[in-house]
A = this chain, B = another copy of it.
Amino acid sequence: MNIFEKYESEVRSYCRSFPTVFNKAKGSKMWDEEGREYIDFFSGAGALNYGHNDDKMKAKLIEYIQNDGITHSLDKASTAKGEFIQKFNDVILKPRKLDYKIMFPGPTGTNTVESALKLARKVTGRTDIISFTNGFHGMTIGSLSVTGNASKRKGAGVPLQNAVTMPFDNYVNEDMDTLEYFERFLEDGGSGVDIPAAVIVETVQGEGGINVARFEWLKRLDELCKRWDILFIIDDVQAGVGRTGTFFSFEPAGIKPDIVCMSKSLSGYGVPFAITLFRPELDVWNPGEHNGTFRGNNHAFVTATAALDYWADPKFEKEVQRKGKLTREFLENLNKKYPELKGEVRGRGLMAGIASDVEGLASKVAAEAFNQGLIMETSGFNDEVFKLFPAINIDDETLKKGFDIIEQSVRKLVKEPVFN
């Protein structure tokens, strides 16, 4: 670890929670330089939904590289890119009756978000974006403006502008209808909140505390947007690509957002890739109006195309949902069994966790789990949630082994005097 402490910036973070040097990974397992094995319930913060180094994608990627397939193509047309577009249409968009144009922004989550915000402003001629409490959308100034976290916001060094925060579903308390509140601000010309270009929302807030928007809330938000001619952007960077049980996280809500932001697990293999999807009528971009050097990462096109094979088979989705249920059951039981957690089970599908009211406990659970060979992140402004993000194709045995480690960690910690 010495070299990281000496030369890498203080900004580094995960290497502090998981203080070892990793060198190998496969499926839901990782190994460090000492040969220690870890179960991965972190999945690259949602960038490794198919686990590490999936064999089928790996084979395709190696073959592509061996044949000197073009690696970097900017936004020139390439065979690999064409194949991705075609398959994404055939396997994902068409069966879901989603008629979207595909934009290739830079290969990161914040880049698809920035492109979505620009487009919404261009289409509507308005400047404000409505985001929601505890939303997380990225670290560049445009995305940071719609991100809730105060520490990240402060990092901007300038006041963040052109954004207004509204309460997410179930914010404040259960009695308050947050959309009634939101709409009151729109319909009242004296509210001080100007009609926005768009709303941007995550269906499940991955960084903000595994907060789940109910389907009817999303549906009503969609209707509200239509009523006020506001564009509806779903940031599916973390919740998408099967994490909640369907390819897009918004499918079960029965809505069709105007714009969708995708990244993280889109490439399947963990290499950088992002796309922005939108209704064809919104495609008012001038050529090159938003660009970027790594729009054409063909390695990602190759693995992303291979990854879509999973979705071609309807059984896959069912399996993911079954594992989601297992996870939920495990957490519900755990929470009942250990009332000392003062916990609340949160999440949807394989995006799940327990928010503990005991200060510092969730972080300790994650730290103890690491000691016992499980990698798991926390979430929420105060790291009050321990967050289970197993690969969506994890085998049952590894999943349960992970559960066991979590339970052992909880059992050990709730007895400690500091938490009692």
User: A418 on the interface (CB 8 Å rule)?
Assistant: no
Would A141 and B139 be within 8 Å (CB), given that A44-B74, A192-B147 are in contact? Answer: no
Counting contact residues on chain A (CB < 8 A from B), the size range is 35 or more
Stretch in A290-298, A361-369, A392-400 touching the partner: A290-298
Q: Is the CB of A297 within 8 A of B283?
A: no
User: In whole angstroms, what is the CA distance A9 to B163 when docked?
Assistant: 26
The copy count of this chain in the complex is 4
User: A148 on the interface (CB 8 Å rule)?
Assistant: yes
Within 8 A of B (CB), among A146-166: 146-159, 161-165
A367-382 vs B: 1/0 string, CB under 8 Å?
Answer: 0000000000000111
Q: Is the CB of B197 within 8 A of A291?
A: no
Would A13 and B68 be within 8 Å (CB), given that A3-B85, A45-B74 are in contact? Answer: no
User: In whole angstroms, what is the CA distance A72 to B52 when docked?
Assistant: 8
User: In whole angstroms, what is the CA distance A50 to B175 when docked?
Assistant: 47
Q: Is the CB of B139 within 8 A of A290?
A: yes
User: In whole angstroms, what is the CA distance A297 to B48 when docked?
Assistant: 12
Shortest Cβ distance from residue A141 to the other chain B in the assembled complex, whole angstroms: 4
User: In whole angstroms, what is the CA distance A14 to B382 when docked?
Assistant: 45
User: A255 on the interface (CB 8 Å rule)?
Assistant: no
Shortest Cβ distance from residue A211 to the other chain B in the assembled complex, whole angstroms: 9
Would A291 and B85 be within 8 Å (CB), given that A161-B161, A180-B172, A184-B172 are in contact? Answer: no
Stretch in A105-113, A330-338, A405-413 touching the partner: A105-113
Q: Is the CB of B107 within 8 A of A107?
A: yes
User: In whole angstroms, what is the CA distance A259 to B72 when docked?
Assistant: 27
User: A342 on the interface (CB 8 Å rule)?
Assistant: no
Stretch in A58-66, A243-251, A311-319, A343-351 touching the partner: A58-66
Q: Which among A16, A190, A272 has the highest number of chain B CB atoms within 10 Å?
A: A190
User: A47 on the interface (CB 8 Å rule)?
Assistant: yes
Contacts of A181 in B (CB 8 A): 167, 172, 176, 181
Q: Which A-B residue pairs are the 5 nearest by beta carbons?
A: A121-B157, A72-B270, A165-B192, A141-B142, A140-B140
Name 27 interchain pairs, CB-CB below 8 A, sorted by A.
A4-B77, A4-B85, A11-B103, A13-B288, A14-B74, A24-B67, A25-B70, A25-B71, A47-B293, A58-B65, A71-B270, A72-B270, A109-B292, A110-B140, A121-B156, A134-B192, A138-B292, A139-B291, A148-B190, A151-B289, A165-B191, A172-B184, A173-B180, A176-B181, A189-B382, A190-B380, A190-B381
